[in-house]
Structure 1
């Protein structure tokens, strides 16, 4: 038993833990176009949204109504931004504890979100972004999200 314990003791150790809050430059770069897209949505600025996306991608929403009725709708980015209209309400979408995965020039961001209008919860769900990096810049190719008004965080 002693040889086994000595072998385990000299085995490679785990690297030191990352400090909290964890700041990963690669993750920040992936989040940059998503954060800019959210700012464009809040500003009701279709051009700002389109500046963050690849034109051949799009947006898909899977909606669940309180009665359990479900629907799925896919939109091109042009269709999506056509629904972004001027208004006086303050819009905010916020990701909560998202997961970011990067492999070379592709990335995925997945996480629960809340969407508020004038600070009041409107709906929630999960966002899934897939991104690609070209010439050093990340762009959102697609976003898919679930949308419901029940079971949302307070």
Structure 2
């Protein structure tokens, strides 16, 4: 009888263990979706709420055949989003990979960026998120940018 008890307990507990990663994955995705929803709406408060204190942004681009790593100021980005503008900033992403270990998440998202309905550029985002007391927050974003060979 003792030999049957442990397998039964483990089998009963398996669904509980399986649900947590899915819930965490969805929470991570929601943070990123909220970031882009705020960008589309021009809502700097919504965007700011997704960022961890000390968040860092980088862009990898090519200029004159040279690869460049350019830091972007998150505060400037948030201000730009909230400054009235004619065209909607519309970054369309899909979730390729979401990896989570404890309070760290790494997310890979291919994207296409549109100003209103006009295609601007594409590439990939790499997000690093941290789970703080108030939930998942974006700590680092680095992206590539190009106008051709999307996806």
Deviation at 1:136, TM superposition (A): 5.7
Deviation at 1:26, TM superposition (A): 2.1
More helix by share: 2
- Which structure 1 residue ranges, 4+ long, deviate > 4 Å from structure 2? none
CA distance in 2 between partners of 1:76 and 1:91 (Å): 17
Partner residue, 1:103: 101
Aligned length: 130
Alignment of 1:3-14 (within 5 A): none
After superposition, the C-alpha distances for 1:71-127 in whole angstroms (9 at most, x for unaligned) are 321123212223323112122112224200000111010121111122222100010
Deviation at 1:69, TM superposition (A): 4.3
CA distance in 1 between partners of 2:23 and 2:134 (Å): 13
Moved more, 142-151 or 73-82: 73-82
TM-score normalised per structure 2: 0.76
Q: Does 1:141 align with 2:139?
A: yes
Assess if the C-alpha contact under 8 Å between 1:64 and 1:146 holds in 2: no
Deviation at 1:70, TM superposition (A): 3.4
Calculate the aligned-residue CA RMSD, in Å.
2.0
Alignment of 1:20-59 (within 5 A): 24-59=22-57
